[in-house]
Amino acid sequence: MTTTGCANAVIVYKFPKNHDVQTLLYTLMASGSYKEQETTKLMRWSDAAQSLRVSRNLYQSGGVSCKIEK
């Protein structure tokens, strides 16, 4: 495997609960050989499709507003 950018390793894993992932990360950090990570949570297509449907319904009903403050 080759990587680009700042990644020295790529790990693909599946845990039943989000806190199990954090437990692994804390354990790796405690070893001293691991200092940072970037996590991307993957989801099933059915979950993504449900999110898209809900988002579309919210948008169509006018229930979307965004106020960004500096």
Half-sphere exposure of 62 (CA within 13 A, CB side): 0
pLDDT tens, N- to C-terminus, the chain (70 residues): 455 566 677 777 778 877 787 787 788 788 877 777 777 777 788 888 888 888 888 777 876 666 666 6
Tokens 């405690």 found at:
30
Q: Which domain holds residue 14?
A: 1-38
Query: Using the 8-state DSSP alphabet, how is residue 13 labeled?
Result: -
Residue 48 belongs to a domain:
no
Total domains present in the chain: 1
Q: Is residue 30 in a domain?
A: yes
| Predicted pLDDT of residue 14 | 79
Give a yes or no: residue 70 inside a domain. no
Model pTM score? 0.41
* Domain membership flag for residue 53: no
For residue 43, which of 51, 35, 32 has the smallest C-alpha distance? 51
34: CB partners within 8 A, 6+ apart: 25, 28
